[in-house]
Structure 1
Amino acid sequence: MGVSQPQDTPQKRITHDTIHFAIPAPPKIFTGRDALINEAVEILCRRSQNHLAILGPGGIGKISLALVISNTPEVQAKYQKFHFLPCDILEDQNGLIQGLIQVLGLHMQEGKSQHAILYDYLQINQNPLLFILDNFETPWNYKNARTEVKHFIEKIADFSSITLIVTMKGMEGPGDIAWKILGKSQIPTLSREAAREAFYQISRKIKTEDNSGKFDHLNEQLDCVPLAIRLIAQLAKKINLENLLRRWNELETKIVSESEAQPGKLTNVEFSIELSVGLFDPTAKDLLGALSYLPNGVPHWNQTLSKMLPEVPESEIKVFQLLDCSLVLEKSEALMMLAPVREYILVRYNISDFCHNQK
């Protein structure tokens, strides 16, 4: 397979500690995902080589799923050890190669490039290796890196001893690889029962009829998104549900965050959404603003959207871009937006800005 050889150009140095401290711990409380876990274990433990893609919007629990799956007894028995690569700190092919060299514990050799050291090792390795490439949309969408990153992951996937798990926003896995898509499509939100169970376990609230009613009302605004549920449950340790409801009505998505100096995708819903929104031009943001005013979505959007929003040029292409970053979802031919995303877009990119831009 012909692959472009990357130049070892100077860039920020990726160390073992850089990667180690970017890896989250497996969640201690994890509800409503048994069927997905069982499906993934069955795929990964087949005799034939299979690569698994875990796809979905920010906050849906892709990282947690990957970690829980990789720590199951069946997967650990087959692979003995898995290597987790936090790709949100690895911008391109060179960064990915540096990262794999670090997690594999390989050492530089005089006169050999990084890619040669990595590929030589993988060529002679006979033990089953499981790589988790988390947040792969970062190098996949980075500037002009797509072609080299595509070649890189395709070549890694070709080694018979390697199994890949990739987590990313989007509708399909990267490159020309026969991915097994977990859940057959994107990862769904939690069921109401699983969301309620997670909330009570994390918040340690006593389950009463009054508390259940207040949480159910709040959960309608959270749309059963796992990250939002976890963050609200953490707040519920300090604030009673009545005040939490009042604060939600005042602040909406701003309340769904953990207190820290620099927000991250695992601790702040707004931060996760804004990372995706930042990839798009103003007309795509205009489209997001318009869609946020449609809580029931757009039925048969591919037939109706251009008529509803004639001011948005190439609206169908814009929709596919938004689908690719999971800012919107397609359900039964309807274009939908999860409630936390919709609430954020309503405030940040409102319809009045859209109308003003079209004058």
Structure 2
Amino acid sequence: PPPPTHLYGRDQYLDDIVTSIMTKLSSGASAHLIIRGPGGVGKTAIARAVLHHPSIARAFGSRRLFVTSEGRDTSSLLLSAIATELGLAINSSSNLLKEIISSFKSDSRHLLFVLDNVETIWYSQDQTAIRDLLQHLASIPSITLLFTIRGSEQPYPVKWDPLPPLGALSPEAAHEAFSTIAGGRTHSCLDGLLKGVDYMPLAITLLARLAQIGESVPSLCDRWQSERTGLLQLSRHDPEENMGLSIQMSLTSPLMRGNPRNMWLLSLVSYLPGGVPVRNLSDMMTVAQTELSPAIHTLKRLALVSEDPSHSLKAHSLTQAYVSEHHPP
């Protein structure tokens, strides 16, 4: 894939990843890094920026592999995609995993393997097969791994190098992104609008593109108050151009669907934007705390909620707005 057209407020995060990779290479080792975060935060853009970074291009040359798991929710589909990128012949009698690992091991030159949208396959029913693939990949000294995953999880059993989850933009970077894309349009209400969308890159990009094609900033501010996430769409079918679809992808993941209490709890937390003390949830939902704990864990894994220092559970603003409208308690 091409490098991202714009990358705002991510210089330090990008530099940290490149430095980690290059430091490991200089010692003859390989980094294992995973970019985590909610949908719409820019994980794929960072991965593409790393792929095309001058230092990475010099270090790996043509030995840079990018595969997306999106739309590939079985191990056979993912392995076929990897085999295709490696130029391996695929037939019905192929043991794809064996052939892929053999191909990787046959060349001792360093290789960067970027696997995007890992959640698609990691949370599927094929997790055992994928765990096997990860173990094999992580055991090959010449392979540098850079994965992205929607959520907060670091797939086991890979020993991942330290990398904090990717968070929202700073207010300054959010303003820069909006202004650049929107052609310099601004207004006194813009501060509140950007804060209202949690400074999330996808939401800011969609708002700025609406301004770019003629919507005034005051109009966007007014529409946000009434339409919320319904405003944040330029396409009905592409989650890269529709914030609601991006959120819905998390809500319909196999992990989320595995327990009906997951959506029940998220609906309740979203209905109370100030947050809910974890200790009060059991009484509010009239179920035992032991029954709620798995649901809390799932919502955190998918980065749909966070727990603040006072142990209150809170949905992120865009999730809260979407779930309140489409999945009320």
Q: TM-score, normalised by structure 2?
A: 0.90
Cα 1:44/1:334, change in 2 over 3 Å? farther
Match of 1:252 among 228, 231, 237: 228
Using the TM superposition, give the Cα deviation of residue 331 of structure 1 relative to its aligned residue in structure 2, in angstroms: 4.0
Which residue is equivalent to 1:153?
134
Residue identity matched to 1:272: S
Using the TM superposition, give the Cα deviation of residue 175 of structure 1 relative to its aligned residue in structure 2, in angstroms: 2.1
**Residue aligned with 2:65, SS:** strand
Residue identity matched to 1:40: I
1:274 aligns to 2:274 (yes or no): no
Q: TM-score, normalised by structure 1?
A: 0.83
**Residue aligned with 1:195, SS:** helix
**Residue aligned with 2:156, SS:** coil
> Distance in 2 between the 1:106 and 1:195 partners?
43
**Residue aligned with 1:85, SS:** strand
Unpaired runs of 5+ residues, structure 1, are 1-22, 355-359
Using the TM superposition, give the Cα deviation of residue 295 of structure 1 relative to its aligned residue in structure 2, in angstroms: 2.4
Which residue is equivalent to 2:272?
294
> Distance in 1 between the 2:207 and 2:35 partners?
24
Cα 1:173/1:30, change in 2 over 3 Å? same
Cα 1:109/1:248, change in 2 over 3 Å? closer
The answer on whether the counterparts of 2:80 and 2:90 sit within 8 Å (CA) in structure 1 is no
> Distance in 1 between the 2:122 and 2:288 partners?
26
Percent sequence identity is 29
**Residue aligned with 1:133, SS:** strand
Using the TM superposition, give the Cα deviation of residue 108 of structure 1 relative to its aligned residue in structure 2, in angstroms: 4.1
The answer on whether the counterparts of 2:185 and 2:217 sit within 8 Å (CA) in structure 1 is no
Cα 1:73/1:331, change in 2 over 3 Å? farther
1:91 aligns to 2:73 (yes or no): yes
Match of 1:230 among 194, 197, 205: 205
Unpaired runs of 5+ residues, structure 2, are none
Give the stretch that moved more between structures: 51-60 or 306-315.
Answer: 306-315
Match of 2:285 among 309, 316, 321: 309
Count of aligned positions: 317
Using the TM superposition, give the Cα deviation of residue 170 of structure 1 relative to its aligned residue in structure 2, in angstroms: 2.5
> Distance in 1 between the 2:94 and 2:120 partners?
27
Alignment of 1:1-359 (within 5 A): 23=1, 25-45=2-22, 46=24, 47=27, 48-81=29-62, 82-108=64-90, 112-142=94-124, 144-183=125-164, 186-207=165-186, 211=187, 213-237=188-212, 238-259=214-235, 263-278=237-252, 279-280=256-257, 281-299=259-277, 301=278, 303-311=279-287, 314-332=291-309, 333-350=311-328, 354=329
Using the TM superposition, give the Cα deviation of residue 109 of structure 1 relative to its aligned residue in structure 2, in angstroms: 7.6
**Residue aligned with 1:60, SS:** coil
Residue identity matched to 1:324: R
**Residue aligned with 1:77, SS:** helix
Using the TM superposition, give the Cα deviation of residue 330 of structure 1 relative to its aligned residue in structure 2, in angstroms: 3.4
> Distance in 2 between the 1:176 and 1:324 partners?
16
> Distance in 1 between the 2:245 and 2:284 partners?
30
Using the TM superposition, give the Cα deviation of residue 127 of structure 1 relative to its aligned residue in structure 2, in angstroms: 1.5
Using the TM superposition, give the Cα deviation of residue 112 of structure 1 relative to its aligned residue in structure 2, in angstroms: 4.6
The answer on whether the counterparts of 2:36 and 2:153 sit within 8 Å (CA) in structure 1 is yes
Cα 1:274/1:111, change in 2 over 3 Å? closer
> Distance in 1 between the 2:307 and 2:88 partners?
43
Using the TM superposition, give the Cα deviation of residue 283 of structure 1 relative to its aligned residue in structure 2, in angstroms: 2.1
**Residue aligned with 1:84, SS:** strand
Using the TM superposition, give the Cα deviation of residue 304 of structure 1 relative to its aligned residue in structure 2, in angstroms: 4.1
> Distance in 1 between the 2:119 and 2:99 partners?
25
Give the stretch that moved more between structures: 234-243 or 278-287.
Answer: 278-287
The answer on whether the counterparts of 1:287 and 1:312 sit within 8 Å (CA) in structure 2 is no
Cα 1:304/1:180, change in 2 over 3 Å? farther
**Residue aligned with 1:88, SS:** coil
